[in-house]
């Protein structure tokens, strides 16, 4: 996936009307190759208010999704071999850009399409991971116990229990029961024999075969379970159709290398950055219009005044309507005007 | 355009004209009318609206930061570029088509030949939009044709 030349088709998940990307590699690829940043909006459960720490998933604007899908269409038309590939159903081999996946439908289909062997595979993977986790946890708690004993010895609180030999049936040599009884002494002296037995039984449970004691794991995207892909999701036909004026302006500026992001923060449709937003301030606050759409002068004044106040220019742009049938290149058909305060008056 | 609308626009222009002359000290002012000032050299249509052509007291649009253009005494400074001013009223609504026709039909700058091009920026067309409100306040905005990086960025 890291190799750009063989970059396979990106899956854009359509969830509740939003277009989301869950794969970090896809996000890096989009940013590097397509100068699309999108908006991260996943919160941490511990810090939901701190939205500078937002993480996966990444939400794309409608225009971005549309552009990626359109790119793939044009690539497909160019190469017949790819078409054949695509018909054969091996979408992943298509060196295209993105395809939209209807998230809920593809989940349901994937579950339905699960064969018995798939099911067994997944189950065994899951079991393995759970066992691994259980053993790791146990080892860690043993270490903690030992450390606690060491601490107690060092601080002089350690006292050998005189009745230890008689209480423990296995004897002094058994490390586990030693640990059990000592931790008993330190942490829960009042509990006596019951607590000791319980701890001893815990330490003897080293075999992963005891499924009843297994810990349950919620699969994460990064775990082996998450990566075990089921079936190729089918392409959904939910291609976004943003308003044409917006999309044409977006496409034009995007083709010039601008990084476009949503414009809510500056009261416009897009904010255009001349390079990666991590390195550059934005230059333009973009408002798209239809060719004959009337714009109040007050909007122009407001945009110009706000833009100049934040060292940007306010831009109005739109697709030029052709009066004659003259053949102009597509890119030249978008007209842009940049407005700044004149510095007086 | 009806006669009434034209006279409205001419009145608007006279407000802007006196504001430029007496409040902002513009000089060399020439009025451009929709019918009379068609440039014979070009194939342009007449200007869609009456405009003003004049020279501000200081260079109006300076893409470079002030520090880098600080060269010697102010007496050696060349006169500021002349600008095209388009008067509009606050209550108007204009479409991209109108703005484009204003830019497309600007006369080619007469001093363009003798002063020589000042690099890429001089080739860019720009106008000054003078917005007049009901209380005769006039505010000025620079509008560029095409994508022009903001000054301070």
A74-120 residue pLDDT tens:
766 665 444 444 444 444 444 467 788 888 888 787 777 777 777 88
Q: Backbone dihedral region of A202: left (phi > 0), alpha (psi from -120 to 50 degrees) or beta?
A: alpha
Q: CA dist A296 to A39, A68, A88, B61, B92, Å?
A: 31, 34, 54, 25, 6
What per-residue confidence (pLDDT) applies to A21?
Answer: 92
Contacts of A317 in chain B (CB under 8 A): 96
The Cα of A336 is separated from the nearest Cα of chain B by a number of Å equal to 5
Taking the Cβ of residue B143 and every Cβ of chain A, the question of whether any pair is shorter than 8 Å is answered with: yes
The Cα of B83 is separated from the nearest Cα of chain A by a number of Å equal to 11
Of A293, A297, A313, the CB nearest to B92: A297
Cα–Cα distance, A161 to A189 (Å, whole number): 11
Annotated catalytic residue, options A143, A153, A159, A281? A281
The Cα of A232 is separated from the nearest Cα of chain B by a number of Å equal to 43
Is A273 annotated in the active site? yes
CB atoms < 10 A from the CB of A40, how many? 16
Cα–Cα distance, B125 to B42 (Å, whole number): 16
What per-residue confidence (pLDDT) applies to A106?
Answer: 80
CATH of the domain at B98: 3.40.1350.10
Contact B103, B128 (CB under 8 A): no
For residue B7, being part of any structural domain is answered with yes
For residue B70, being part of any structural domain is answered with no
The overall average pLDDT reported for chain A is: 75
Helix (H) or strand (E) segment spanning residue A317? strand A313-319
What per-residue confidence (pLDDT) applies to A53?
Answer: 75
Annotated catalytic residue, options A29, A258, A273, A287? A273
Contacts of B142 in chain A (CB under 8 A): 339-342
Taking the Cβ of residue B148 and every Cβ of chain A, the question of whether any pair is shorter than 8 Å is answered with: yes
For residue B56, being part of any structural domain is answered with yes
For residue B16, being part of any structural domain is answered with yes
Taking the Cβ of residue B36 and every Cβ of chain A, the question of whether any pair is shorter than 8 Å is answered with: no
For residue B25, being part of any structural domain is answered with yes
Cα–Cα distance, A246 to A248 (Å, whole number): 6
CB contact under 8 A, A284 and B150: yes
For residue B68, being part of any structural domain is answered with no
CB contact under 8 A, B140 and A274: no
Compare all CA atoms of chain A with the CA of B93 and give the residue at the minimum distance. Answer: A296
Domains and their CATH numbers in chain A: 1-113+232-240 (no CATH), 119-213 (no CATH), 243-345 (3.40.1350.10)
Taking the Cβ of residue B93 and every Cβ of chain A, the question of whether any pair is shorter than 8 Å is answered with: yes
H helix count then E strand count, chain A: 11, 11
The Cα of A70 is separated from the nearest Cα of chain B by a number of Å equal to 25
Task: State percent of chain A over pLDDT 70.
Answer: 63
Cα–Cα distance, A154 to A133 (Å, whole number): 32
Annotated catalytic residue, options A126, A145, A287, A312? A312
CB contact under 8 A, A301 and B90: yes
Is A228 annotated in the active site? no
Domain holding B55, by residue range, is 3-63+78-108+122-144
CA-wise closest residue to A204 among A237, A231, A170: A170
List, in sequence order, the alpha helices (H) in chain B: 3-22, 96-104, 112-115, 120-123
CB contact under 8 A, B138 and A345: yes
Q: What is the ipTM of this complex?
A: 0.84
Contact A88, A80 (CB under 8 A): no
Contacts of B89 in chain A (CB under 8 A): 297
Contacts of A304 in chain B (CB under 8 A): 141
For residue B32, being part of any structural domain is answered with yes
What per-residue confidence (pLDDT) applies to A63?
Answer: 93
CB atoms < 10 A from the CB of A156, how many? 7
What per-residue confidence (pLDDT) applies to A170?
Answer: 47
Cα–Cα distance, B59 to B101 (Å, whole number): 26
- How many folded domains does chain B comprise? 1
Model confidence pLDDT, tens digit, residues A218-251? 555 544 444 444 445 666 667 888 888 999 999 9
Model confidence pLDDT, tens digit, residues B77-131? 778 889 999 999 999 999 999 999 999 888 765 544 434 334 344 456 899 999 9
Residues in chain B, overall count: 153
Structure tokens at A104: 């809920």
Give the pTM: 0.69
For residue B89, being part of any structural domain is answered with yes
Sequence-distant (6+) residues with CB within 8 A of A81 are none
Compare all CA atoms of chain A with the CA of B89 and give the residue at the minimum distance. Answer: A297
Contacts of B144 in chain A (CB under 8 A): 313, 337-339
pLDDT in tens, chain A (345 residues): 344 444 567 888 888 889 999 989 999 999 998 999 998 888 777 766 666 678 889 999 999 999 988 887 776 666 544 444 444 444 444 446 778 888 888 878 777 777 777 788 888 888 888 899 999 999 999 999 999 999 988 887 766 655 554 444 444 444 444 444 444 444 444 444 444 444 444 444 444 455 556 666 555 554 444 444 444 566 666 788 888 899 999 999 999 999 999 999 899 999 999 999 999 999 999 999 999 999 999 999 999 999 999 999 999 999 998 765 555 555 468 999 999 999 887
Is A281 annotated in the active site? yes
CA-wise closest residue to B108 among B93, B90, B123, B129: B123
Contacts of B148 in chain A (CB under 8 A): 313, 338
| Residue listed under structure tokens 């939209």 | A100
Q: CA dist B90 to A296, A301, B99, B129, Å?
A: 8, 9, 15, 11
Cα–Cα distance, A230 to A108 (Å, whole number): 11
Residues 310 through 339 of chain A touching chain B, CB cutoff 8 Å: 311-313, 315-318, 320-321, 335-339
């Amino acid at each position: 996936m890291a190799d750009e030349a063989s970059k396979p088709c990106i899956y854009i998940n359509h969830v509740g009307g939003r277009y989301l990307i869950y794969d970090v590699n896809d996000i890096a690829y989009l940013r590097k190759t397509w100068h699309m940043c999108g908006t991260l909006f996943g919160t941490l459960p511990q810090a939901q208010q701190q939205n500078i720490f937002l993480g996966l998933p990444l939400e794309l604007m409608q225009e971005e999704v549309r552009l990626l899908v359109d790119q793939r269409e044009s690539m497909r038309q160019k190469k017949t071999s790819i078409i054949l590939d695509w018909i054969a159903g091996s979408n992943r081999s298509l060196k295209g850009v993105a395809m939209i996946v209807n998230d809920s439908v593809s989940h349901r289909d994937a579950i339905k399409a699960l064969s018995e062997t798939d099911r067994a595979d997944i189950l065994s993977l899951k079991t393995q991971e759970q066992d691994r986790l259980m053993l790791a946890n146990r080892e860690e708690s043993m270490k903690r116990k030992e450390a606690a004993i060491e601490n107690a010895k060092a601080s002089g609180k350690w006292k050998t229990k005189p009745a230890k030999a008689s209480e423990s049936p296995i004897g002094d040599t058994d490390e586990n029961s030693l640990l059990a009884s000592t931790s008993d002494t330190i942490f829960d002296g009042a509990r006596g024999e019951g607590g000791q037995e319980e701890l001893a039984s815990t330490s003897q449970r080293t075999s992963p075969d005891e499924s009843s004691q297994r810990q349950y794991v919620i699969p994460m995207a990064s775990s082996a379970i998450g990566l075990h892909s089921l079936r190729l999701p089918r392409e959904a036909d939910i291609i976004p159709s943003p308003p044409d004026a917006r999309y044409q302006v977006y496409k034009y500026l995007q083709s010039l290398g601008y990084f476009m992001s949503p414009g809510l923060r500056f009261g416009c449709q897009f904010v255009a950055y001349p390079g990666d937003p991590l390195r550059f301030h934005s230059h333009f606050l973009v408002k798209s219009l239809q060719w004959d759409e009337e714009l109040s002068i007050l909007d122009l004044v407001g945009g110009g005044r706000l833009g100049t106040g934040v060292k940007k220019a306010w831009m109005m742009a739109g697709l030029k309507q052709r009066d004659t049938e003259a053949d102009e290149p597509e890119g030249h058909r978008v007209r842009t005007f940049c407005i700044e305060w004149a510095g007086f008056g | 355009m009806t006669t009434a609308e034209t006279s409205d626009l001419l009145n608007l222009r006279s407000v802007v004209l006196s504001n430029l002359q007496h409040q902002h000290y513009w000089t060399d002012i020439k009025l451009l009318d929709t019918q009379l000032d068609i440039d014979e050299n070009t194939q342009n249509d007449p200007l869609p609206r009456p405009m003003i052509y004049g020279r501000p007291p200081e260079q109006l649009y300076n893409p470079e930061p002030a520090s880098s253009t600080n060269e010697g005494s102010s007496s050696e400074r060349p006169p500021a570029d002349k600008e095209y001013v388009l008067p509009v009223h606050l209550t108007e609504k204009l479409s991209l088509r109108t703005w484009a026709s204003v830019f497309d039909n600007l006369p080619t700058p007469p001093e363009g030949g003798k002063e020589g091009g000042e690099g890429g920026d001089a080739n860019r067309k720009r106008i000054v939009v003078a917005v007049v409100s009901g209380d005769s306040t006039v505010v000025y905005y620079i509008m560029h044709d095409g994508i022009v990086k903001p000054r301070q960025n």
